[in-house]
Homo-oligomer: A and B are copies of this chain.
Amino acid sequence: MALKKKPVTGMKDILPKESRIRDYVIALAKETYGSFGFSSIETPCVEHIENLCSKQGGENEKLIFKILKRGEKLSLEGVENENDLADSGLRYDLTLPLSRYYSNNAASLPSPFKALQMGNVFRADRPQKGRFRQFMQCDIDILGDASYMAEVELITATSTLLGKVGFKDFKVRINDRRFLKAMAAYCGFDEEQYDLAFIILDKMDKIGPDGVKAELVSAGFGEEAAAKYLDLFEKTSSDVEGIEYLKGVLGDNLEAGAADNLQTIIRLAGQTKSVPFEIAFDPTLVRGMSYYTGTIFEIEMAEFGSSVAGGGRYDEMIGRFTGTPTPAVGFSIGFERIITILLDKDYEVPGTTDNIVFLLEKGLPENRVADAMKEAAQLRADGTRVLVVQANKNKKFQKEQLMAAGYTNFKDFYKEELKK
C-alpha cells in the first residue's frame, strides 16, 4: 500500500529554515528566563482524560485528541460513548499539566517556584491559515508568590525576551478582574450578567464605545446603567491616575488593595524595564479564561495588530489539585505567532557561523577525501559550519539548492587527472 506523504490534517512538517529560527528563539527564551531564575520543566504530551475533561480548559475541552485504551482495557462491546474508549489524551495547553506537575512535585520544588515550559500542545481545531493542530506553547509561571513582584518579574522578563528577538514598540496592557467586577457592580449589573457584559466589553477595540453601549442595551442591560458604564471608561485615563480615579469612584465595590496593587505593578514595571515599552492601564481588557482571579495582561505590537503574549493571576486553580491554596500568575507567549512574524520578515538568525561546502567529485581517491575531511574538522573546531558532500552530476543545481539552504561558500575537490 502506498504510504501517505502529507502530514496528518492540520499539522505541519517544519523545514530547515523555520527550524533554525525556532531553535534560536527557544534558546533565547531559555537563556533570558533562566537569567530571571525560571527553571525549565517538562510534562508528558499525554495527560489523564479525567484531568483534561475537568472543566478547567473551557472551550479547549471540545478539541481533545483522545487516545484509545490498549490491550485488555479496551473493550469494543457495550460502548456507549467515546469516553469508554479513551483513558488519556493529548494536552491542549500547558496550564493544566503545570497544575498537576506542581501538585505532584511541590515537595522537591522551591517556593516560590518560577517555571518555564516550552512544549507542543494539541487541539483538534478546524484547520485554518496560520493555525495548526500541533503547536508550541511557551508558558512562564510563578507559583507561590501572592505579591505584585511576580507580575513585575513576568512583565520585565517577557519584555526583555521580546527586545532580544528584535521587537520594538510593543505595549503592555494591564487590568485586574477585580476592576472588571467592581465596575459592573457599580453600574448595577446583575452578577449573573457580568460575563455577558465582559464579552461585549471585549469588543471595544472593534466596535467602539457606541457599539458596546448599543450591544449592552440590546442584550437587556438598562439604558441608564449602560450609559453609566461607558461613562466610566470615558473618564478613566490609561495610567496610575486612571486607577486612582476609579478607586475613588468605585469605593466599596472594589476589593481593598486592588488599586494600590495594580498601581505598584505599573510603576515598578516602568522603572525596571530593560527595553523601552509602554505599559498602560486598560479597564476594557477582559481575557477569556474563567480561571483568572486578579491581574490580567497582554502584550501587543502595533505593527502586527494582535497580541503576542497574555496572561494573568489564577490563585485558585492549583489549590483544586493540591487542596492547599497556592497563588499563581502566568504568561503565555504566542510562540507560533512570533515565528510567523519572523518568517514573514525574512528574519536572519544572528551570529550564524561562517559556512562552506566541500564538494567532492565522485571517485576522489581515499587519501584526498581524508585530506578534505581533516581540513573540515579543523574549520569546524574554529567555528565554521562545513558540509562535506559528494558532488552530484548536476553540480550547478546542487549549488543552487545549497545556496537556498544558506550556504555561501564552496570549494571543489576534483580528481587529480582533471586538474591537469
A contact set with B: CB distance below 8 Å: 1, 3-8, 11-16, 19-20, 22-23, 27, 30, 34-37, 39-48, 50-51, 54, 65-68, 70, 74, 76, 79-82, 85-88, 90, 99-101, 103-105, 108-112, 114, 120, 122, 124, 133-134, 145, 147, 149, 152-153, 156, 160, 264, 267-268, 271-272, 274, 320-321, 353, 357, 360, 362, 366, 369-370, 373-374, 376-377, 380-381, 383-390, 392, 398, 401-402, 404-405
Are A76 and B81 touching (Cβ within 8 A)?
A: yes
Are B7 and A50 touching (Cβ within 8 A)?
A: no
Residue in B4, B267, B320 whose CB lies within 8 Å of A100: B4
**Given A41-B13, A105-B13: A321 and B3 interface contact (C-beta under 8 Å):** yes
Compute how far the CA of A247 lies from the CA of B329 in the bound complex, rounded to whole angstroms. Answer: 68
Are B112 and A390 touching (Cβ within 8 A)?
A: yes
For A101, the chain B residues whose CB sits under 8 A away are 13
**Given A36-B380, A37-B386: A268 and B4 interface contact (C-beta under 8 Å):** no
For A390, the chain B residues whose CB sits under 8 A away are 112, 145, 147, 149
For A45, the chain B residues whose CB sits under 8 A away are 45, 90, 120, 122, 134
**Given A16-B41, A147-B362, A156-B377: A86 and B68 interface contact (C-beta under 8 Å):** yes
For A50, the chain B residues whose CB sits under 8 A away are 1, 3-4
Are A401 and B274 touching (Cβ within 8 A)?
A: no
Residue of B nearest to A405 (CB): B110
Compute how far the CA of A152 lies from the CA of B370 in the bound complex, rounded to whole angstroms. Answer: 10
Residue of B nearest to A356 (CB): B37
- Listed A/B pairs (27) with beta-carbon separation below 8 Å: A3-B48, A3-B50, A3-B51, A3-B100, A12-B44, A13-B41, A13-B105, A15-B105, A15-B108, A16-B39, A16-B109, A19-B39, A19-B40, A23-B30, A36-B388, A37-B387, A45-B90, A46-B122, A65-B70, A76-B80, A109-B405, A110-B401, A110-B402, A111-B401, A114-B387, A153-B373, A264-B366
Residue in B40, B82, B370 whose CB lies within 8 Å of A20: B40
Are B51 and A104 touching (Cβ within 8 A)?
A: no
Are A41 and B68 touching (Cβ within 8 A)?
A: no
13 extra A-B contacts, CB within 8 A, seeds A16-B41, A110-B402, A160-B380:
A3-B48, A3-B50, A3-B54, A3-B320, A7-B44, A11-B44, A16-B39, A27-B27, A35-B386, A39-B405, A67-B90, A79-B79, A111-B401
Q: How many copies does the complex hold?
A: 2
Q: How far is the CB of A308 from chain B (nearest CB, A)?
A: 21
Q: How far is the CB of A33 from chain B (nearest CB, A)?
A: 10
Residue of B nearest to A385 (CB): B35
Are A385 and B37 touching (Cβ within 8 A)?
A: yes
Are B105 and A156 touching (Cβ within 8 A)?
A: no
Compute how far the CA of A15 lies from the CA of B390 in the bound complex, rounded to whole angstroms. Answer: 44
Compute how far the CA of A145 lies from the CA of B100 in the bound complex, rounded to whole angstroms. Answer: 47
Are B8 and A370 touching (Cβ within 8 A)?
A: no
Are A271 and B370 touching (Cβ within 8 A)?
A: yes
Are A321 and B374 touching (Cβ within 8 A)?
A: no
Are A68 and B46 touching (Cβ within 8 A)?
A: no
Compute how far the CA of A130 lies from the CA of B366 in the bound complex, rounded to whole angstroms. Answer: 43
Compute how far the CA of A39 lies from the CA of B45 in the bound complex, rounded to whole angstroms. Answer: 25
For A5, the chain B residues whose CB sits under 8 A away are 100, 103-104, 321
Are B6 and A104 touching (Cβ within 8 A)?
A: yes
For A112, the chain B residues whose CB sits under 8 A away are 389-390
Q: How far is the CB of A140 from chain B (nearest CB, A)?
A: 13
**Given A68-B66, A68-B82: A369 and B268 interface contact (C-beta under 8 Å):** yes
Are A54 and B267 touching (Cβ within 8 A)?
A: no
